[in-house]
Amino acid sequence: MAVLQSHLWFAPWAAPRARRLPGIQPLDPADWLHVDDAFAGQMALRDRLIAEAPEAVHALLPSARPAAAELYARVLDILRTAPGYRVAAGAVTRPDGVVVALEPDLPLLTLGRLVQADLCLMEAQGAQHVLTGAILCFPAGWSLDEKIGHPLTRIHTPVPEYDAGLAARVQRLFDGIHVDRPMWRANVLAYADADLFTPAREGAPRPRPVGPAPYVRSERQCLVRLPRTRAVVFSIHTAMVRRAALTPAQAEAFEALHGAPA
């Protein structure tokens, strides 16, 4: 059964000024982690993936344990005052009523069951930022085991738009993220189906929709600097909506980017 949002509640790509890659803009720190109307369905899927295939959705290098611990503490601190959450000494009750045991020794796996956003840890090593840990339940065409331990340029190897110029801009962006000035952007793509867990191997052929794609997938991607370890958290809140659910302005912008439905 498809897990869909009723509407797309973020669409910065609808503004022409935000379409030039990487299309970044400031983020209010209080506006980082969201609960939307697909929370219960997405969290049930996350629970199942983490229980049945943790090796497919989780990775953490030993060197990244301090950053993971800092992120764990940061998110729990946010949830203490977040609407719908109840944080107790050993467990958190989510807005959907599910009680999640707190396991600080498994920080990313625990966080993956608490919030809708996937969470990736990027840490500076030499001149680049390297993916050192992640809980990634909703990959859009990539596999965590191929990317963990690699820098940004290697992670984006199969992306044709990620040329040397864009790579340099993105690296400057990561270098320049301030603790008190997080940033965000969003992408948007047409999809033939509504599957959220869509990993793919590098070099594997990508299926193309036959006819008009009925779904729109958009990722709200945030960049947040942790103050102690200086790691950058790259969070990905995935929305999947029916194309017909776009507002007229969103539909017009989407068609300008990807073409009108056939």
pLDDT band of residue 257 (cuts 50, 70, 90) is confident
pLDDT above 50 (res 262):
no
Q: Where are the domains of the chain?
A: 12-206+213-258
Report how far apart, in Å, the C-alpha atoms of 67 and of each of 52, 60, 61, 90, 232 are: 25, 10, 10, 21, 9
The confidence score (pLDDT) of residue 158 equals 56
The confidence score (pLDDT) of residue 20 equals 63
Label each residue of the chain as H, E or C: CCCCCCCCCCCHHHCHHHCCCCCCEECCHHHCCCCCCCHHHHHHHHHHHHHHCHHHHEEECHHHHHHHHHHHHHHHHHHCCCCCCEECCCEEECCCCCEEECCCCCHHHHHCCCCCCEEEEEEEECCEEEEEEEECCCCECCCHHHHCCCEHHHHCCCCCCCCHHHHHHHHHHHHHCECCECEEEEEEEEECCCCCCECCCCCCCCCCCCCCCCEEEEEEEEEEECCCCCCEEEEEEEEEEEHHHCCHHHHHHHHHHHCCCC
The confidence score (pLDDT) of residue 127 equals 82
The confidence score (pLDDT) of residue 261 equals 58
| pLDDT tens per residue, range 71-80 | 999 999 999 9
pLDDT above 60 (res 213):
yes
pTM of this prediction?
A: 0.92
How confident is the model over 111-116, as a mean pLDDT?
Answer: 99
How confident is the model over 144-158, as a mean pLDDT?
Answer: 82
pLDDT above 90 (res 95):
yes
Name the least confident of 50-54, 149-153, 217-221, 247-251. Answer: 149-153
The confidence score (pLDDT) of residue 153 equals 76
| pLDDT tens per residue, range 153-195 | 777 665 555 556 666 777 788 888 999 999 999 999 999 999 9
| pLDDT tens per residue, range 14-36 | 877 665 656 789 999 999 999 99
The confidence score (pLDDT) of residue 113 equals 99
pLDDT band of residue 211 (cuts 50, 70, 90) is low
